[in-house]
């Protein structure tokens, strides 16, 4: 894969973890270097450079169809699951190329978890079994399952609501609870990075607020990258933003990236200013 020395670096080190973070646990830094992507002959991303700092929340914003979700899937090697998909560039996790041929995709996906737009718990599987379902795949068969379930559900903000019905089907939960169950399922394998693809788009305002509160708490121990079309949400939850844009004949690319306060309050590019103000998109 090619390298590029002009990667956009989001400045300043991560802050110290707040009170309540798990001792010894911290997120990891993800770096995309000159990442381009295709589906067949259709190029969807053009030389994306972005650093997603440890223990920070990075929001990916931009109109539909500009490659944000594709970029998110590249970050944990889900892009390659599409038969026609191609990729150029590098993605580095704590300095190591996740696409190194010697690296197993499953190892990357354990360290870089994913929460999708639509909650997708295993509907007939119990809440408990949903949470521990990934342990077998990651080789943690002898783990303390009860402890892991309680820890993951607590960190996802769901334990107090389901502690007395862990053996009931996950599909019986409300939409917001199902999404937090999916977050708990991702957390159970102890990832360093959590990717979220519009996790609140199908939820009511109350459930959305709970997910956002969960994100705020999780940033102490994991790095979070979230795709959102909700500009207010991006401002509320993220430390940094990257504004993606595409047009006819031009693949998705980053127009501007930096601290969220700057992207929304003092954007350098007029296209960014128009988008965050709601004048298009």
Contact 137/191 with Cβ under 8 angstroms? no
Burial 234-273 (b: 16+ CB within 10 A, else e): bbbbbbbbbbbbbeeeebbbbbbbbbbeebbeebeeebbb
For 30-276, which CATH superfamily applies? P-loop containing nucleotide triphosphate hydrolases (3.40.50.300)
pLDDT band at residue 106 using 50, 70 and 90 as cut-offs: confident
Q: Which of the pair, 74 or 143, is modelled with greater confidence?
A: 74
pTM for the full predicted model? 0.87
Domain residue limits, the chain: 30-276
The residue count for the chain: 281
Q: 1-44: per-residue pLDDT in tens?
A: 444 434 444 444 444 443 334 444 677 999 999 999 999 999 99
- The yes-or-no verdict on residue 93 having pLDDT over 80 is yes
pLDDT band at residue 243 using 50, 70 and 90 as cut-offs: very high
């Amino acid at each position: 894969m090619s390298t590029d020395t002009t990667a956009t670096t989001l400045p300043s080190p991560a802050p110290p973890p707040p009170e309540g973070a798990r001792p010894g646990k911290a997120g990891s830094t993800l770096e995309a270097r000159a990442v381009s992507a295709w589906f067949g002959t259709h190029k969807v991303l053009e030389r994306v450079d972005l650093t997603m700092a440890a223990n920070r929340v990075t929001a990916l914003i931009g109109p539909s169809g500009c490659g944000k979700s594709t970029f998110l899937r590249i970050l944990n090697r889900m892009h390659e699951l599409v038969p026609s998909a191609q990729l150029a560039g590098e993605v580095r996790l704590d300095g190591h190329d996740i696409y190194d041929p010697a690296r197993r995709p499953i190892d990357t996906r354990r360290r870089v978890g994913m929460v999708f737009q639509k909650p997708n718990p295993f509907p007939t599987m119990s809440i408990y079994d949903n949470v521990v379902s990934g342990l077998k795949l990651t080789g943690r068969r002898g783990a303390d399952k009860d402890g892991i379930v309680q820890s993951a559900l607590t960190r996802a903000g769901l334990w107090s609501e389901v502690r007395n019905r862990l053996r009931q089907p996950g599909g019986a939960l409300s939409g917001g609870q199902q999404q937090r169950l999916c977050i708990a399922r991702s957390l159970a394998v102890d990832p360093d990075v959590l990717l979220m693809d519009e996790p609140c788009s199908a939820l009511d305002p109350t459930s959305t607020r709970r997910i956002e509160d969960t994100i705020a708490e999780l940033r102490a121990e994991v790095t979070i990258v979230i795709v959102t079309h909700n500009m207010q949400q991006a401002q509320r939850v993220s430390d940094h933003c990257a504004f993606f844009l595409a047009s006819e004949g031009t693949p998705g690319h980053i127009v501007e990236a930096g601290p969220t306060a700057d992207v929304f309050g003092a954007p350098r590019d007029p296209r960014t200013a128009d988008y965050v103000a709601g004048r298009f998109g």
